[in-house]
Amino acid sequence: MTAYILRRLVMAVPVMLIVAVTTFLLLHMTPGDPVAVLLGPDATTEQIEQLRDQLGLNDPVHVQLVRWFAGLLRGDLGQSIFLNKPVTRAILERLAPTLELSILASLVAILIGVPIGMLAAIRQGRLLDFGSMLVAMVGISMPTFWLGLNLIFIFAVSLRWLPPQGYQPFEDGLWANLSRMILPAITLGAGQGAFLARMTRSVMLDVLSEDFVRTARAKGLSEPRVLLGHVLRNGLIPVVTVVGLTFAILMGGAVVTEQVFNIPGVGRLLIQAVLRRDFPLVQGIVLLIALVYVLINLGIDVLYAFLDPRIRYA
Amino acid sequence: MTARQVLLAPAVQRKRPLGRVIVHGIRRYPGGIAGGAVLIGVLLIALFAGALTDKSPTSVDPVNRLSPPMAGHPFGTDNFGRDLYARTLYGARISLTAGFGVAMLALAGGIGFGLLAGYYRRLDGVLMRVMDALMAFPGIILAIGIVAARGPSLTNVIIALGVIFIPRVARVVRSIVLSVRERQFVEAARSIGATDFRVLVHHVLPNAWSPIVIQGTFIFAEGVLGEATLSFLGVGPPPEFPSWGNILGEARLYIREAPWMMLLPGLALTLTVLSLNLIGDTIRDLIDPRVRRRMA
């Protein structure tokens, strides 16, 4: 197992390399000049050229790429053009809200999606099945930001139960922190939860029609034991895949939710960085998200072996 | 049933009245039929927006800024005093254009790359790795980057979103090409001297149409959502365009003073995307025999 994990980690390196190079080239090939944005419309051409020289932006692209890579190997993601601080620090400062939001949203998605999907599968063709799948379909189709606006309007503006937006770190008290995270977490998690419900239902239906389920029932096992011991366990594999990816997907999706709720996270940092063409910062954040994807995929594969002893990694 | 009745049966079926056929369709595929009806409705609204309101979506009425629903403005006005009903009606044009454009671009690109990658083994590795990298990149960010670089316009929004969905189509097409290219009829076509182009277009591609249509419907839905998201974030078509996304973006700023701003465009957006998803689901159920068996 250890050997397998190590091999997968080694295999992740080329993937990260491709992402890094693609990001770099995409950013540098599209027009737009961070220095012109930084200095504003009043800057003279000489000023812009001087600063471009200082930042090394006038060097050929391959020279810049090699320089960036050399830094990367030393663990240095470079300096943000606008924030005047190292990219690593800029990201770390903003990481906590995004991580918290993604984790809570994943919880929401899983706690809504998996049980509803299972119930719908068990009651296939009944009203509960039809109703929950209709709700799930609406959940998938509703734009996150509209859901977020509705929640703000209902729970913050009208009922005044929760604050409408912003972020408070844990140090300011658990409720101060959580009360501002509830609405964003529901907003971000609902769509994925709806997707999970549909997915879980269809997987469970597949398993329910298997021979071993009929056998289990025939030998007189109670229905809960059949469902939990036989159906759920076999249905878990594809569900775990989606649940795992949920976290990674939600980290990407946090961009919009953070914007709706004014949460100072990595997502908003990324939008700002893209709009101002802060090259090093964009590269750093994209690399981070790619790393999360790769690690989660690895985690999922490892989890398979625990869930299903038939799976062996040689 | 007598032999005579059996012989007559198909003829009787062909004469089934239209009303019965429709009722049968609604009972069997309620989602797809409802989705189709809503989508046709949205399409009609987009085509005849001018006939449904006498207001212009862009004319400003400073006296009636942020006014709640009232006579003359049935759904209120926005922060410039523009009529929200008119803006939402005209917004259907942008949404449908964006969704359709994104789907077409993604399908064209995806079919092209998918056929090439599946048919020419040498291209496969390179093309699919590029596709993997594109997929690893968070889609909405890539779109923001492309629009930010190329400038805010509907065309650029379509290009940005279309590019994002190319890999998804390419993967589906490639996987079908991989299985079809070994079949006898492909070998036969090649042996009588058909060019690669002819083999791909006339013999391989027809086998991929049904998954392509399904993907196209879902990408249409995601294109509508994507345009709205970009507009919401302020990187969509220019702000004077009445797009559901940027109405909602402005509604966010006035959620206390004018909560009615978000009602109509949000509803329109959700219904449009929902109808497309329902249609996509129904087509998939019709085509995928595995699902059909389960439903029976």
Q: Which of residues 7-46 of A touch B (CB under 8 A)?
A: 15, 18-19, 22-23, 26-27, 30-32
**Which pLDDT score, from 0 to 100, does residue A314 have?**
53
Per CB-CB distance under 8 Å, the chain B contacts of A30 are 145-146, 149-150
**Which pLDDT score, from 0 to 100, does residue B192 have?**
92
Mean pLDDT on B212-224: 91
Residues of B with CB under 8 A from a CB of A: 31, 129-130, 132-134, 136-142, 144-146, 148-150, 221, 225, 228-229, 232-233, 235, 248, 251-252, 255-256, 259, 262, 266, 269-270, 273-274, 277-278, 281, 294
Mean pLDDT on B45-58: 80
pLDDT in tens, chain A (314 residues): 778 778 878 877 877 787 778 778 777 776 667 777 777 777 777 878 888 777 777 777 788 888 888 887 787 888 888 888 888 888 888 888 988 898 899 899 989 998 899 889 888 888 888 899 889 999 989 999 999 999 988 888 888 888 888 788 878 888 878 888 889 999 999 988 998 898 888 888 888 888 888 898 899 888 888 888 888 878 877 777 777 777 777 776 788 899 889 889 888 888 888 878 888 888 888 888 878 877 887 787 777 777 777 766 65
How many CA atoms lie less than 13 Å away from A314 in the CB half-sphere?
Answer: 1
3-state secondary structure chain A: CHHHHHHHHHHHHHHHHHHHHHHHHHHHHCCCCHHHHHHCCCCCHHHHHHHHHHHCCCCCHHHHHHHHHHHHHCCCCCECCCCCCEHHHHHHHHHHHHHHHHHHHHHHHHHHHHHHHHHHHHCCCCHHHHHHHHHHHHHHHCCHHHHHHHHHHHHHHHCCCCCCCCCCCHHHCHHHHHHCCHHHHHHHHHHHHHHHHHHHHHHHHHHHCCHHHHHHHHCCCCHHHHHHHHHHHHHHHHHHHHHHHHHHHHHHHHHHHHHHCCCCCHHHHHHHHHHHCCHHHHHHHHHHHHHHHHHHHHHHHHHHHHHCCCCCCC
**Which pLDDT score, from 0 to 100, does residue A311 have?**
67
- The answer to whether B148 contacts A32, with C-beta atoms less than 8 Å apart, is yes
**Which pLDDT score, from 0 to 100, does residue B294 have?**
47
From A274-278, B20-24, B142-146, the region with the lowest mean pLDDT? B20-24
**Which pLDDT score, from 0 to 100, does residue A116 have?**
92
pLDDT digits (tens, 9 = 90+) for B282-293: 888 787 655 544
Between B51 and A265, where is the model more confident?
A265
**Which pLDDT score, from 0 to 100, does residue A169 have?**
82
Q: Which of B144, B225, B294 sits opposite A143 (nearest CB)?
A: B225
The count of CB pairs under 8 A between chains A and B is 113
pLDDT band at B106 (very low <50, low <70, confident <90, very high): very high
CA distance B209 to B220: 16
- The answer to whether B138 contacts A255, with C-beta atoms less than 8 Å apart, is yes
pLDDT band at B296 (very low <50, low <70, confident <90, very high): very low
Mean pLDDT on B170-199: 88
**Which pLDDT score, from 0 to 100, does residue B269 have?**
93
CA distance B261 to B82: 11
pLDDT band at B3 (very low <50, low <70, confident <90, very high): low
CA distances from B192 to A20, B178, B182, B188, B195 (A): 46, 21, 16, 6, 9
Q: Is residue B70 helix, strand or coil?
A: strand
- The answer to whether A143 contacts B142, with C-beta atoms less than 8 Å apart, is no
From A21-25, A196-200, B4-8, B271-275, the region with the lowest mean pLDDT? B4-8
- The answer to whether A18 contacts B133, with C-beta atoms less than 8 Å apart, is yes
CB A156 within 8 A of CB A162: yes
Question: Radius of gyration over alpha carbons of chain A, in Å?
Answer: 24
Tell me which amino acid residue A6 is.
Answer: L
Min Cα distance B160 → chain A (Å) is 12
**Which pLDDT score, from 0 to 100, does residue B293 have?**
45
pLDDT digits (tens, 9 = 90+) for A201-252: 888 888 888 888 889 889 988 888 888 888 887 887 777 777 777 777 777 6
**Which pLDDT score, from 0 to 100, does residue B2 have?**
55
- pTM here is 0.82
Which H helix or E strand runs over B175? helix B154-180
Say if residue B11's pLDDT is above 60. no
From A103-117, A130-144, B86-100, B120-134, the region with the lowest mean pLDDT? B120-134
**Which pLDDT score, from 0 to 100, does residue B274 have?**
93
Nearest CA in chain A to B225: A143
**Which pLDDT score, from 0 to 100, does residue B276 have?**
93
